[in-house]
């Protein structure tokens, strides 16, 4: 019978070690017992950017990057995108099971009850410059919420955690809408508790003079996009939330770290970068030339490639369907033609095929958001609204995991050895 162990011979010493294998992993800390001669501190695993390191055990999201599979709590993303509301998906991620009708009702009502933000939040948002980036405003405002809710420090109290979870889910759309109105110089619109989660958010962003005609197709499209973004296991922003949360800071501060990570162009900022790229390309005739430039190392094809998916991102497939529904309502966008041509050429090109680079979730989402009326620099805010339940679920899972401690990676020091301080006058 094969054993679930790994035997390692250290050729420096000739010693042999047998390490247990569990769930396809060895424990990096088991390597510490492997020591060379002298006062060696033990072997470490060197893994910059965590390419092959599992940082936790998680029961939330399953991804098979080769097969293009994504499931939340075991449910295929395709079925959730088809059937579930965003709040239902959030409940699933947070609680582990789909809600009963009664549970869903309570969850929706709890969130509805907390949609207002303190008027001082509005005041400090007004202090931002007119051209402030919406993500900078969002991460600042969410971090500041911790000062409004000092009880959020009580992270060991399950009822308290539920309350912060509700506050975050309820208030993020309100803050996001304020940020949108700020950029447009429009007066803020208060939450309307007669509307559902998506309807209220859309109303807070687009209402003018007390009026807004909701478009159910566009609202459902937005809801599907939020469902598709709701969690993606240990991505950069989620790892930031877990890492910062591991210091036992309050969840508003931890989520604000997640928003900061999402802001970056290699993560949530990619759909913004896709639109800029499409603008730069200008028309379909320029697509082959642009592809050649990318292959020559001049920039990247934004919205292509993924650290985990080495086949078509299943979310990108679903988003393409959403794009059809949206463009039927809003009319065709010339940038869509450029995107389709880019995708067509890239999927046939040896450079992209051999590196297994396929469209990711961001390739089409920006086009959809733009058609809905959201400005380019606002796209990542919508991503943050979607990712929020995932961040909270992962944060709570981390807190409940007895194996987790404060995140503190090791390093391989490659700097100078010890040397004496040189007085200022003696430095050349």
> With left for phi above 0 and alpha for psi between -120 and 50, is residue 115 left, alpha or beta?
alpha
Between 208 and 266, whose beta carbon lies closer to ligand ACO? 266
Given 231, 250, 313, 362, which residue is catalytic? 362
Residue 392 to residue 190: CA distance in whole angstroms: 25
The residue at minimum Cβ distance from ligand ACO is: 305
Residue 149: CB partners within 8 Å, gap ≥ 6? 164, 167, 250, 252
Between 207 and 272, whose beta carbon lies closer to ligand ACO? 272
Residue 315 to residue 359: CA distance in whole angstroms: 10
Nearest-approach distance from CB 308 to ligand ACO, in angstroms:
8
According to DSSP, the β-strands at 5-10 and 69-72 are: unpaired
Nearest-approach distance from CB 182 to ligand ACO, in angstroms:
25
Number of Cβ atoms within 10 Å of the Cβ of 40 = 11
Between 167 and 315, whose beta carbon lies closer to ligand ACO? 315
Nearest-approach distance from CB 42 to ligand ACO, in angstroms:
29
Between 118 and 267, whose beta carbon lies closer to ligand ACO? 267
Number of Cβ atoms within 10 Å of the Cβ of 313 = 27
Burial (0-12, 13-18, 19+ Cβ within 10 Å), 194? exposed
Active site residue 267: yes
Nearest-approach distance from CB 268 to ligand ACO, in angstroms:
6
Answer positive or negative: Cα dihedral of 366, 372, 374, 379.
negative
Nearest-approach distance from CB 315 to ligand ACO, in angstroms:
8
Between 121 and 257, whose beta carbon lies closer to ligand ACO? 257
Whether 199 contacts 222, CB under 8 Å = no
Two tokens, residue 40: 């060696």
Nearest-approach distance from CB 103 to ligand ACO, in angstroms:
30
Whether 394 contacts 242, CB under 8 Å = yes
Residue 175 to residue 182: CA distance in whole angstroms: 10
DSSP secondary structure, 162-219, as one string: HHHHHHHHHHHHHHHHHHHHHHHTPPP----TTS-HHHHHHHHHH-BTTB----HHHH
Number of Cβ atoms within 10 Å of the Cβ of 220 = 15
Given 267, 279, 324, 349, which residue is catalytic? 267
Given 133, 232, 306, 313, which residue is catalytic? 306
Between 78 and 154, whose beta carbon lies closer to ligand ACO? 78
Between 198 and 361, whose beta carbon lies closer to ligand ACO? 361
Nearest-approach distance from CB 49 to ligand ACO, in angstroms:
7
Residue 18 to residue 20: CA distance in whole angstroms: 7
Q: Which residues contact ligand ACO by CB under 6 A?
A: 266-268, 270, 294, 300-307, 355, 357, 360-362
Residues with a known catalytic role: 267, 306, 362
């Amino acid at each position: 019978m094969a054993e679930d162990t790994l035997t390692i011979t250290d050729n420096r010493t000739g010693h042999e070690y047998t390490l247990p294998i569990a769930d396809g992993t060895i424990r990096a800390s088991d390597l510490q017992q492997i020591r060379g001669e002298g006062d060696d501190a033990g072997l470490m695993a060197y893994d910059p950017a965590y390419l092959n390191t599992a940082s936790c055990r998680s029961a939330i999201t399953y991804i098979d990057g080769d097969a293009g599979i994504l499931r939340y709590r075991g449910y295929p993303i395709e079925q959730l995108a088809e059937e579930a509301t965003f709040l239902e998906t959030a409940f699933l991620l947070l609680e582990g099971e789909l809600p009963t009708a009664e549970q869903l009702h309570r969850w929706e009502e709890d969130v509805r009850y907390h949609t207002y933000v303190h008027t001082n939040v509005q005041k400090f948002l007004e202090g931002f410059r007119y051209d402030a980036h919406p993500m900078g405003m969002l991460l600042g405002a969410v971090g500041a919420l911790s000062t409004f809710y000092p009880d959020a420090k009580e992270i060991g109290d399950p009822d308290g955690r539920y309350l912060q979870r509700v506050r975050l889910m309820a208030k993020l759309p309100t803050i996001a809408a304020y940020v949108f109105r700020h950029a447009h110089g429009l007066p803020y619109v208060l939450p309307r508790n007669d509307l559902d989660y998506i309807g209220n958010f859309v109303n807070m962003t687009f209402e003018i003079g007390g009026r807004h005609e909701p478009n159910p197709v566009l609202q459902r499209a937005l809801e599907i996009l939020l469902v598709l973004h709701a969690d993606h296991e240990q991505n950069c922003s989620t790892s930031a939330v877990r890492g910062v949360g591991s210091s036992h800071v309050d969840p508003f501060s931890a989520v604000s770290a997640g928003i900061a990570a999402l802001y970056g162009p290699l993560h949530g900022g990619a759909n913004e970068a896709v639109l800029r790229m499409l603008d730069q390309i200008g028309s379909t005739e320029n697509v082959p030339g642009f592809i050649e430039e990318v292959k020559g190392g001049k920039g990247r094809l934004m919205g292509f490639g993924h650290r985990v998916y080495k086949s078509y991102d299943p979310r990108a497939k679903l988003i393409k369907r959403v794009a059809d529904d949206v463009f039927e309502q809003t009319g065709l966008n010339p940038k869509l033609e450029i995107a389709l041509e880019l995708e067509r050429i890239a999927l046939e090109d040896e450079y992209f095929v051999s590196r297994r680079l396929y469209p990711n979730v961001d390739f089409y989402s920006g086009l959809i958001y733009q058609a809905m009326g959201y400005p380019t620099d606002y796209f990542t805010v919508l991503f943050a609204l979607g990712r929020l339940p995932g961040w909270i679920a992962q944060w709570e899972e981390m807190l409940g995991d007895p194996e987790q401690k404060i995140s503190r990676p090791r390093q391989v020091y490659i700097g100078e050895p010890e040397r004496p301080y040189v007085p200022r006058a003696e430095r050349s």
